[in-house]
Amino acid sequence: MSATFSDIVSQVRELTFDRFVTPTFFIAQNDRKQEWTLSITSTNFIIKDNGVNVIDLLLADYPTLKDLLDAIIAAAQPIEVIFAGSFIPSEPTSSLSKMADVTLDSYRPVFRSYYFSDALITAYFQDYVRRIMHVTDDQVNAIVWDTEFGDPSFDSYRRTHFVFWVAFQVVGQRRLYELAAQNLLISTLGGPPPAGSGLSYVSSSNFTTSGPGQDVTVQIGDVFTLTEDKNTALGLYNSGEIPKDMLPPWAVGSDNPLMDYYSFWYRLQLWLRLQLEQRTGDYSLRNNTVMTGKIYLDPRDSEKLYSYFDSYPWVFSPYLRPYSNVQELGT
């Protein structure tokens, strides 16, 4: 069954849970005595004072949100603007949700229709064909996506691989923005949100941590001992310490430099990777990492040359040795 660009974008949005309006910035009038209203159409951003246009910006002249907010500020009107944590300067103004005559007597949110625009998702489409299909930049720029997705070679397997791979990358981007928004909120407020504000954030102090288990020691012959230490030299970030009664969300190949182990977005990204692996057999998104451990070499009798190889009554070393030495070990 052939697909279109809209079909694939919709599937990516479903997998990434990008299906809800997102607050972009908050806007209010400075003079509460005035009756200012805001309207956003498909073409214009309009602020009126008692029906008279005070600001009327053509969205086509301000293609990104940064351009639009710069123009609002430059208009030198008694308007206050506050960025939301999900504000993305490069997102297009065409992604703004429509509004009609909303009063600005208090801070009103201006929404985007989705968290990420079609343009950003398309950028990951292009990234896919570059990295997976090794298509050149000139060829990428000439792609007509409806034609490519409608081609018979874009079968069920390719479609599954494409959609889950792109969704994995998009959620990775979302994780970064969400984590930044939390930290920016804390930075802006100057500390934890005040009680009764309706705002909250999660930190390590919200959890009681316990180690993942006991030290594991394996003795291999009499040659050396392998010990997996629950509290490695790298400390908490690599020791696997987890909230009490909570299963660890990490494993080999699941390192997490952002440390957002408890977030929905991190777990969603792991789920998307698992689906890609199970459905297509592609494990390329799993990092090539190993478990951290310690190896101890047990000391033996240092006076005997072959003490690390010979254990009575066996001889493990391929090296030749005097008959008297072997006979001595067997006595």
What does the DSSP assignment read for 32-89? TTS-EEEEE-SSEEEEEETTEEEEEEEGGG--BHHHHHHHHHHTT-SEEEEE-TT--T
CA nearest to 180, candidates 201, 211, 204? 201
Give domain status of residue 172, yes or no. no
* Alpha-carbon gap, residue 265 to 211, rounded angstroms: 24
Give domain status of residue 49, yes or no. yes
Strand partners, 224: 220
User: For residue 180, which amino acid is it?
Assistant: A
Give domain status of residue 197, yes or no. no
Question: Dihedral through CA 111, CA 113, CA 114, CA 120, nearest 10?
Answer: -100
Which of 112, 144, 174 is the last residue before a domain boundary?
Answer: 112
Containing 310, the helix (H) or strand (E) segment is strand 310-311
Give domain status of residue 228, yes or no. no
* Alpha-carbon gap, residue 105 to 35, rounded angstroms: 7
pLDDT at 326: 45
Give domain status of residue 321, yes or no. yes
* Alpha-carbon gap, residue 293 to 231, rounded angstroms: 10
Which of 89, 112, 135 is the last residue before a domain boundary?
Answer: 112
Give domain status of residue 79, yes or no. yes
Residue stretches of the chain with pLDDT short of 50: 189, 197-212, 232-250, 325-331
- Per the structure, the complete domain to which residue 100 belongs is given by 21-112
pTM across the whole model: 0.68
Which of 96, 112, 128 is the last residue before a domain boundary?
Answer: 112
Torsion angles phi and psi, residue 18, rounded to 5 = -95, 75
pLDDT at 59: 93
Give domain status of residue 315, yes or no. yes
Give domain status of residue 223, yes or no. no
Give, to the nearest 10 degrees, the angle between helix 5-16 and helix 156-189. Answer: 50
Number of domains in the chain: 2
